[in-house]
């Protein structure tokens, strides 16, 4: 039997149709198949759960700080630090990019597939939604009026024209529009909130918008999380020509009872081509924004104000050096460049009294060759005393503070917010403004009266039952009232 | 005001506990009714659950009243606390745990009003009580806000939204547990599987948009305070995990073969993710580490 059928098929298909032979149809069907897979809800579901599982790994397994994995030395140091915790798994997990899961191949691949599935599903649903909204099926057949979750049959002594008119009016009062089709029997379709089905598509498209915004940000935005400025120092604002930012003062206050931080404030002045534009306090939660660039309060620490002069007394360097790093032993370390000398200077300040080389009130100046990194000389200098090292005079003027700002410019942010608004609006409408559809069937009766059946497939939970009952009651009352008048 | 908040907290906890005791007796009477029915004694069932005699309904009724009282007292406690601190009562684990419990009670009674399934209370109230017990163990002192939290509007809105979402998810969790606790055909004395499925779904329909709003408001706040709307901070990430699981649930429910049990399992996983998001800052660090327990 099976053999037989197969032979018949073979016979019928022995001569391939012209279109199938040239391979075009093959590509078409492969694309179709891909489309079919991408638009499948099952794939979307699996991808969503996979994405959730991967990001969950990111919260449970320690993640390497940004930049560490690109620097082989920092990487091996960091891996050594976590080795006690993950043991033999450390290298395997590293190979699998588990420590950088949010930039890993896995997350990107699943994210890309998810985005593709999202776009495909959204596009795929447009024609159906359009049909539901613009060309609904009006004639649904008589069986529907007996089996739908909500249904009611009514008979009236009035002619069908009257009943139709009255029914239309009742539905209009409840916010429904009426479509009808007359083929001897009058088929009716009533709906309310007919634009609501679009909201689901809006919500899904909104996620694409958010992803697009994130993409714009990562392509054209910039971010410097380590923008340091000592009190009294001025620095150029990145990406804005001729603009500078000066830290006038920095203040940190703490709770007297438990030492918890209460406030960090950087008082800064922004200037354009030397002319001050604005002076503002920058706090956590109170960023400074100028020409699309934002400054956020991020961290802070001590600074050493240092002046360097050459033999003729001309200033080579003057300013606050942020002591932002910590050396082994707890010393605070900062750096500045002396480009004319080809030197890099490090400033080391002591936090305790343990260091025999640096006493409290002193800083150590360490000079290195800028090109090779070879050490040149190291010397501790007293505050306020000009000390000559290698032909230059170094003065440690005073202690100060520095502020660590995070500077960012993200042109994608407005797009992300637009997506967020669309998402919330889309969800709200999708879930709280239901598309109500009711079908009707109106027929004349031999006795001059008419019979009207209405039915709907509303969800039991959403208060639709009550609305349906009210509609039925209103139709009956209105027809009776019309009969009396 | 701080003292008043504490009294209201204790009274609210007590009231919720008594409500739970009431629900236990109510459920036990359901079991008794089931046994009587099996023995051939005529037992009437009503909209309000199982009605064996006047006693059963009245116990359920009092349990509901006590629960409402607990809800009101916890609400009062939060209001007093807000007056005492001058900001929304959501800045540390103590305040937030009370608020979470308050949210659970609110969500539960919203659904009890509509679906009259008191057996759900048997599962939802213990979660609220566990949070209240937890709140009693963490420091309750009023401390000034750390700089990152000094944004009264966003603090209040961001966390208040989270309360609504988490409360709804707890109700969905309770419904899913009851769903999985019985065969597909249902078991006498427990709410019908279809009704539980419905409650779970409605709870997510309420909670999911709120969770979306929580994440968006959090992103907005992160942009204001830290200069980026998203940074894969552990708490951000955990909330995204939760969002994806409930998103998957909403899609699963319209698919053949994923309805019912599988959907209920997703609700349980989703609630686990919710708890991880909630308690996460205690163990995975990150920028949300201002629990007041440091």
* Amino acid A7: pLDDT: 36
Chain A hits for B229, Cβ within 8 Å: 410, 413, 416
A99 touches chain B (CB under 8 A): no
With CB atoms and an 8 Å threshold, state whether A413 touches B223: yes
pTM: 0.83
Separation between Cα atoms, residue A127 and residue A138, nearest integer Å:
18
- Looking at the complex, report in whole angstroms how far the Cα of residue A262 sits from the nearest Cα belonging to chain B: 5
With CB atoms and an 8 Å threshold, state whether A284 touches B150: yes
- Looking at the complex, report in whole angstroms how far the Cα of residue B235 sits from the nearest Cα belonging to chain A: 8
Domain-embedded: residue B267 = yes
The helix (run of H) or strand (run of E) holding residue B21 is helix B2-38
Indicate the burial class of A275 (C-beta count within 10 angstroms; 0-12, 13-18, 19 or more).
exposed
With CB atoms and an 8 Å threshold, state whether B244 touches A48: yes
The helix (run of H) or strand (run of E) holding residue A26 is helix A24-38
**A105 and A231 fall within a common domain:** no
Chain B hits for A296, Cβ within 8 Å: 225-227
**A164 and A226 fall within a common domain:** no
Selected residue of B91, B161, B226, B283 to mutate for chain A interface (largest A Cβ count, 10 A): B226
Which pLDDT tens digits describe chain A residue by residue (485 residues)?
A: 333 433 333 333 333 333 344 445 566 788 888 888 888 888 999 999 999 999 998 888 888 887 778 888 888 888 888 888 888 888 888 888 888 888 889 999 999 999 999 999 999 989 988 988 888 889 888 899 998 889 999 999 989 888 999 999 999 999 999 999 988 899 999 999 888 889 989 999 999 999 999 999 989 988 888 888 888 888 888 888 889 999 998 888 887 877 777 888 899 999 999 899 989 998 888 889 888 899 988 888 888 899 999 888 888 888 888 888 877 777 888 888 888 888 888 898 877 656 677 777 788 888 888 888 888 888 888 888 888 888 888 999 888 888 888 898 999 999 999 999 999 999 888 888 888 999 999 999 888 889 999 999 876 555 788 889 999 999 999 988 887 76
* Amino acid A337: pLDDT: 87
**A317 and A173 fall within a common domain:** no
With 70 as the cut, is the pLDDT of residue B66 above it? yes
Cα–Cα nearest to B287, from A431, A284, A84, A45: A284
* Amino acid A370: pLDDT: 84
Separation between Cα atoms, residue B246 and residue B169, nearest integer Å:
9
Domain-embedded: residue B83 = yes
Phi, psi of A336 (to 5 degrees): -145, 160
A42 touches chain B (CB under 8 A): yes
> What is the signed CA dihedral for A37, A43, A44, A46, rounded to 10 degrees?
-170
Separation between Cα atoms, residue A338 and residue A336, nearest integer Å:
7
ipTM summary value: 0.84
Domain-embedded: residue A424 = no
With CB atoms and an 8 Å threshold, state whether B151 touches A260: no
Chain A hits for B234, Cβ within 8 Å: 58-59
Domain-embedded: residue B261 = yes
CATH of the domain at A188: 3.30.160.110
A466 touches chain B (CB under 8 A): no
Domain count, chain B: 1
pLDDT tens digits along B236-257 = 889 999 999 999 999 888 777 7
Range of the structural domain that residue A103 is part of: 36-125
Residues of B with CB under 8 A from a CB of A: 143-144, 146-148, 150-151, 198, 201-202, 205, 208-209, 212-213, 216, 219-220, 223-230, 232, 234, 237-238, 240-241, 244-245, 247-248, 251-252, 254-255, 258, 273, 276, 280, 284
What residues does A265 pair with on adjacent strands? A251
How far is C-alpha A265 from the geometric centre of its chain's CA atoms? 29
pLDDT tens digits along B84-105 = 888 777 778 888 899 999 999 9
What residues does A217 pair with on adjacent strands? none
**A293 and A163 fall within a common domain:** no
**A307 and A332 fall within a common domain:** yes
State in Å, rounded, how far the first CA of chain A is from the last one: 74
DSSP string, B53-69: SHHHHHHHHHHHHHHHH
What band does B127 get if pLDDT is binned at 50, 70 and 90?
very high
Matching residue, tokens 């054209």: A220
Nearest to B144 among A48, A58, A260 (CB): A260
Domain-embedded: residue A301 = yes
pLDDT tens digits along B143-162 = 777 777 777 788 889 989 99
The two tokens of residue A174 are: 């409840």
A203 touches chain B (CB under 8 A): no
What residues does B51 pair with on adjacent strands? B44
Structural Rg of chain B based on CA atoms: 20
The two tokens of residue A213 are: 């915004």
* Amino acid B258: pLDDT: 79
With CB atoms and an 8 Å threshold, state whether B251 touches A294: no
With CB atoms and an 8 Å threshold, state whether B209 touches A408: no
Domain-embedded: residue A83 = yes
With CB atoms and an 8 Å threshold, state whether A48 touches B251: yes
Indicate the burial class of B78 (C-beta count within 10 angstroms; 0-12, 13-18, 19 or more).
buried
Domain-embedded: residue B291 = no
Domain-embedded: residue A425 = no
Domain-embedded: residue B12 = yes
Listed in sequence order, the residues at least 6 apart from B1 whose beta carbon sits closer than 8 Å to its beta carbon are: B80, B81, B83, B84
Range of the structural domain that residue B50 is part of: 2-284
Domain-embedded: residue A421 = no
**A184 and A333 fall within a common domain:** no
DSSP string, A432-464: HS--EEEEEEEEE-TTS-EEEEEEE---TTTTH
DSSP string, B167-205: HHHHHHHHHHHHHHTS-TT--TTS--HHHHHHHHHHHHH
Cα–Cα nearest to B83, from B161, B160, B11, B142: B142
Separation between Cα atoms, residue B203 and residue B205, nearest integer Å:
5
Q: How crowded is residue A274: how many other Cβ atoms within 10 Å of its Cβ?
A: 7
Domain-embedded: residue B208 = yes
Domain-embedded: residue A57 = yes
Domain-embedded: residue B21 = yes
**A403 and A440 fall within a common domain:** no
Chain B hits for A461, Cβ within 8 Å: 198, 201-202
Tell me which range, A20-24, B54-58, B191-195, is most confidently predicted by mean pLDDT: B191-195
Nearest CA in chain B to A411: B228
Domain count, chain A: 3
Cα–Cα nearest to A345, from A387, A382, A377: A377
Domain-embedded: residue A29 = no
* Three-state DSSP class for residue A97: coil
Nearest to A420 among B209, B216, B258 (CB): B216
**A479 and A387 fall within a common domain:** no
- Looking at the complex, report in whole angstroms how far the Cα of residue B191 sits from the nearest Cα belonging to chain A: 16
């Amino acid at each position: 039997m099976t053999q037989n059928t197969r032979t018949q098929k073979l016979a019928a298909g022995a001569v391939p149709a012209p279109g199938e032979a040239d391979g075009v149809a093959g590509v078409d069907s492969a694309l179709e198949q891909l489309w079919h897979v991408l638009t499948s809800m099952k794939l979307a579901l699996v991808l969503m759960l996979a994405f959730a599982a991967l990001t969950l790994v990111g919260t449970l397994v320690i993640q390497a700080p940004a930049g560490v994995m690109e620097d082989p030395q920092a990487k091996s140091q960091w891996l050594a630090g976590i080795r006690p915790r993950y043991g033999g798994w450390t290298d395997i997990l590293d190979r699998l990019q588990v420590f950088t899961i949010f930039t890993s191949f896995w997350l990107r691949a699943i994210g890309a597939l998810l985005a593709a599935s999202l776009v495909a599903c959204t596009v795929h649903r447009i024609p159906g939604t359009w049909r539901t909204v613009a060309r609904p099926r009006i004639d649904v057949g008589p069986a529907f009026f007996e089996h739908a979750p909500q249904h009611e049959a009514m008979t009236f002594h009035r002619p069908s024209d009257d009943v139709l008119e009255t029914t239309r009016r009742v539905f209009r009062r409840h916010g429904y529009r009426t479509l009808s089709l007359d083929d001897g029997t009058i088929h009716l379709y009533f709906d309310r909130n007919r634009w609501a089905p679009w909201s689901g598509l809006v919500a899904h498209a909104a996620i694409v918008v958010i992803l697009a915004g994130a993409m714009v940000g990562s392509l054209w935005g910039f971010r410097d999380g380590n923008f340091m400025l000592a009190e009294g120092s001025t620095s150029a604002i990145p990406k804005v020509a001729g603009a500078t930012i000066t830290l006038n003062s920095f203040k940190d206050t703490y709770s007297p009872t438990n030492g918890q931080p209460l406030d960090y404030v950087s008082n800064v002045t922004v200037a354009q081509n030397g002319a001050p534009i604005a002076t503002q306090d920058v706090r956590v939660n109170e960023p400074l924004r100028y020409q699309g660039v934002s400054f956020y309060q991020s961290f802070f620490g001590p600074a050493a104000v240092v002046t360097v002069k050459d033999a003729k007394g001309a200033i080579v360097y003057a300013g606050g050096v942020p002591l932002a790093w910590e050396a082994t032993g707890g010393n605070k370390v900062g750096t500045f460049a002396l480009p004319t000398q080809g030197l890099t200077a490090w400033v080391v300040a002591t936090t305790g009294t343990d260091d025999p080389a640096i006493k409290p009130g002193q800083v150590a100046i360490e000079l290195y060759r800028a090109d090779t990194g070879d050490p040149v000389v190291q010397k501790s200098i007293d505050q306020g005393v000009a000390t000559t090292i290698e032909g230059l005079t170094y003065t440690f003027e005073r202690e100060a503070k520095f502020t660590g700002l995070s500077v960012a410019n993200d042109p994608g942010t407005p797009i992300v917010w637009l997506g967020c608004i669309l998402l919330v609006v889309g969800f709200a409408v999708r879930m709280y403004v239901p598309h109500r559809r009711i079908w009707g069937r109106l027929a004349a009766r031999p006795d001059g009266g008419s019979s009207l059946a209405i039915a709907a497939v509303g969800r039991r939970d959403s208060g639709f039952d009550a609305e349906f009952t009210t509609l039925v009651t209103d139709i009956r009352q209105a027809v009776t009232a019309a009969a009396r008048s | 005001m701080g003292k008043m908040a504490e009294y209201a907290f204790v009274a609210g906890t007590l009231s919720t506990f008594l409500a739970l005791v009431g629900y236990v007796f109510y459920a036990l009477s359901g079991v008794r009714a089931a046994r009587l029915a099996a023995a051939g004694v005529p037992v009437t069932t009503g909209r309000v659950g199982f009605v064996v005699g006047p006693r059963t309904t009245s116990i359920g009724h009092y349990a509901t009243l006590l629960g409402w009282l607990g809800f009101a007292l916890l609400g009062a406690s939060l209001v007093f606390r807000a007056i005492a601190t001058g900001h929304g009562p959501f800045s540390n684990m103590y305040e937030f745990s009370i608020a979470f419990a308050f949210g659970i009670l609110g969500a539960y009674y919203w659904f009890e009003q509509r679906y009259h399934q008191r057996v759900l209370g048997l599962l939802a109230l213990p979660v609220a009580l566990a949070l209240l017990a937890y709140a009693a163990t963490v420091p309750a002192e009023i401390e000034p806000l750390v700089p990152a939290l000094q944004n009264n509007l966003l603090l209040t809105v961001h966390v208040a939204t989270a309360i609504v979402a988490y409360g709804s998810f707890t109700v969905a969790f309770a419904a899913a547990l009851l769903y999985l606790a019985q065969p597909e055909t249902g078991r006498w004395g427990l709410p019908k599987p279809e009704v539980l499925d419905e409650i779970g779904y409605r709870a997510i329909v309420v909670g999911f948009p709120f969770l979306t709003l929580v994440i968006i408001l959090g992103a907005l706040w992160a942009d204001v305070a830290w200069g980026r709307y998203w940074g894969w901070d552990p708490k951000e990430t955990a909330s995204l995990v939760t969002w994806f699981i409930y998103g998957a649930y909403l899609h699963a429910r319209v698919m053949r073969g994923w309805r019912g049990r599988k959907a209920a399992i997703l609700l349980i996983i989703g609630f686990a993710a919710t708890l991880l998001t909630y308690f996460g800052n205690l163990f995975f660090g990150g920028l949300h580490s201002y629990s007041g327990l440091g």
